[in-house]
Structure 1
Amino acid sequence: MSPQKILVLGPSWLGDMVMAQKLFKAIKNHYPKSELHVASPIWTIPLVSRMPEVDKPIPLPFSHGELNLVKRYQLGKSLRIEGYTQAIILTNSFKSALIPLFANIPKRTGFLGEMRFGLINDRIKKDKSLYRTVDQFLALAPKNKNVKTSLLTCLISKPHEARKFLKGKLKISDKILGIAPGAEYGEAKRWPVEHFAKVAIKAIDKGWKVILLGSANDHDLGRSLDQLTKNKVINLIGKTKLEEVIDVMSICNSFLSNDSGLMHVAASMGIKQVAIFGSSDPKKTPPLSRHAEIMYLSLSCSPCFERSCPLQHTNCLKNIKPEEVIRKVI
């Protein structure tokens, strides 16, 4: 019998949330008449709202790492009226499993994680052979019925809104290269800004329009790229909401980024892309798209998963040459 309502407690990272869409698709495939709600951090809601599988996004009013038992109890209690029959908890923390308990959801599915006995009553044993993050999420799909990661996913975008937003800066005939030079995790995941600039300059010389995208945290990277390209790029870094970024990406012909949240957004949208990997592992969090090209040197010190290079050279990034990327991205 199909559950009437399913609540998913989603991840905090933007890229992980994109990969979680595979699970949402699997749920809807298995239970086509179910209603799917996704509770996730406020900053992911614009992304979740663009997922056609999600019937209702629920913003979680907690900062990163915040426990706040009182607030979690109040939120869980307020959700009792929804009458959820199942909760699926994607993260492994103790606090993430509290809301489904407080909401009196009878079936609470997840990996055991930290001190979660009693909180999780539909316990899934984590298969150590499932290295990719997306496969771990899919292991929590209904009955775990050999769900394939090839399930098509997409984000709802509004290209006309992007054109309106960029009015006067683009022509319909323009070839557009999107560049996202940032990576929230740390500098060990960021290709040198000078390398990004060389790609941008070459694209501009070939008649492409280049649009820079990213959060306010990437402001300095955007300013450096402005200077290095003599202000020939369209710099939208820190000037757009996430939903606007999704719309702008939908009109890009090609996309270049580090291993970041926007890399996964591009993959979900099926954009031709090149993804630069440094301290992270493309086997664990690859862009899930047949249109993606991964650049990774697989040095003996990689992947280290550190925010800053322990050896203080970041050769895993520096030694990926712009000329190689140019051939693949434009």
Structure 2
Amino acid sequence: MGGAVERVLIIKLGALGDFVQALGPMAAIRRHHQSPLGAASVILLTTKPYVDLARATGLFDDVWVDEERPKPWQIGRVRRLREKLKSGHFTHVYDLQTSDRSSFYFHILGPFKRPLWSGIARGCSHRHTHPERDRMHTIERQIDQLAVAGITDVGMADLSFAQKDIYRFGIEKPYALLVPGGAPHRPAKRWPAKDFAELANRLFVKGITPVLLGARAEQGILTLIERDAPGTVNLCAKTDFIDIAVLARGAALAVGNDTGPMHMISLAGCPSIVLYSSDSDPALCAQRGPSVEIVRKTRLEDVSVAEVWDVVERTAALVP
């Protein structure tokens, strides 16, 4: 998919962990479409929660919000989305979402004057058909997909763009980030709040301030932990994605469930311990970074605090 390029569209809709892990492939696409005559115009199509983060990366000339999200039978929405996509006059499209939804976007463009398209949509010019794609980790799958399109210099996500004043939180080093939340419809992916509280107390005794991160929907869990571990700093609903990356850079370590913020924390370089149940498979979606430890059991309630503390000692060398 090389040659003279004018307009490039990247499709990545979410969720947070997938979005952050795709920043490396997105940067590779950007580099691939630079030339001595100038860089292509690179547009991102995403969902509203990731617009500010996408703009902060500096990788995109514009960020579009996927507002229509049409079902095939919603003719009006399909028409509006098709006209929006056509208005971009894209020569290349990289579908990093590779879902039924994003493949549908390829088909609504119609059979004439379609852009070169990297994805899994039947009939696209650079279709990823690796027989093991559904058993690949997200990052390796995207690396293999882009190789089909001639892009081979794909690196890890670089979060150095994330810069923000976090002094307003009043947190002194050393501190550790704790991420006790997760998708509300998947409770099996959450380590019990009482165990996070006990871990927080152990950290506090060692002179490490435990810092709780979570969205507003997780306020109840974080409040319980704060009650049982009074040495914690509760930043529930006080941080955005950039804050999390900057906090991660200064943290001694992080411990959390398999949830989006842990992807950002680990890629920011923070030594990270991620807790997995059988509800998700780290072979497909594990956090990546310079120092990541996975603790996994069939049921997270069977993971003891002592087991996690052993990994804390080994990972961050906090305990003499």
Pairwise TM-score range, normalised by the shorter structure: 0.7 to 0.9
- CA gap 1:69/1:17 in 2 versus in 1, 3 angstroms: farther
Q: Which residue number in structure 1 is paired with residue 20 of structure 2? A: 18
Distance 1:40 1:189, change over 3 A: same
Q: Which residue of 1 aligns with 2:266?
A: 267
1:234-253 CA deviation, whole Å, 9 max, x = no partner?
11112333343334334323
Structure 1 range deviating more: 14-23 or 61-70: 61-70
Which residue in 2 is equivalent to 1:51? 57
Compared CA separation, residues 137 and 70, structure 1 to 2 (3 A): farther
Conservation of the 8 A alpha-carbon contact between 1:212 and 1:233: yes
| Aligned partner of residue 283 in structure 2, secondary structure | coil
TM-score computed with the length of structure 2 as normaliser? 0.82
State the AA in 2 paired with 1:128. Answer: E
Q: In the alignment, is residue 170 of structure 1 matched against residue 171 of structure 2?
A: yes
Identity, in percent, stands at: 19
In structure 2, the partner of 1:60 is 66
Tell whether the 8 Å contact from 2:55 to 2:63 is kept in structure 1 after alignment: yes
| Residues 123-134 of structure 1 aligned to structure 2 (within 5 Å) | 123-128=127-132, 131-134=136-139
Which residue number in structure 1 is paired with residue 44 of structure 2?
Answer: 38
RMSD: 2.8
1:182 is paired with a residue whose SS is: coil
Provide the residue aligned with 2:234 in structure 1.
235
Match of 1:141 in 2: 146
Alignment of 1:186-265 (within 5 A): 186-230=186-230, 232-265=231-264
- Partners of 1:15 and 1:265 within 8 A in 2: yes
Q: TM-score of the superposition, structure 1-length normalised?
A: 0.80
SS state of the match for residue 24, structure 2? helix
For residue 93 of structure 2, give the secondary structure of its aligned residue in structure 1.
strand
Tell me, what secondary structure is at the counterpart of 2:209? Answer: strand
1:306 matched to which residue of 2? none
- Structure 1 counterpart of 2:77: 71
Residue 145 of structure 1: how far off its partner (Å): 5.0
In structure 1, the residue matched to 2:315 is none
Structure 1 unaligned blocks of 5 or more: 303-313
One-letter identity of the residue aligned with 2:138 = T
Aligned in 2, Cα 1:72/1:249: closer, same or farther, shift over 3 Å?
A: farther
Q: How far apart, CA to CA, are the structure 1 residues paired with 2:49 and 2:100?
A: 21
- Unaligned stretches of 5+ in structure 2? 313-317
Whichever structure has more helix as a proportion of its residues is 2
Is structure 2 residue 11 aligned with structure 1 residue 6? no
Aligned match of 1:324 in 307, 310, 320?
Answer: 307
**Alignment partners' CA distance in 2, 1:277 and 1:202:** 21
Contact 1:88-1:108 at 8 Å conserved across structures: yes
Distance change in 2, residues 1:150/1:107 (3 Å): closer
- Provide closer, same or farther for how the CA distance between residues 89 and 152 of structure 1 changes in structure 2, counting only shifts above 3 A: closer
- CA shift for structure 1 position 54: 3.3
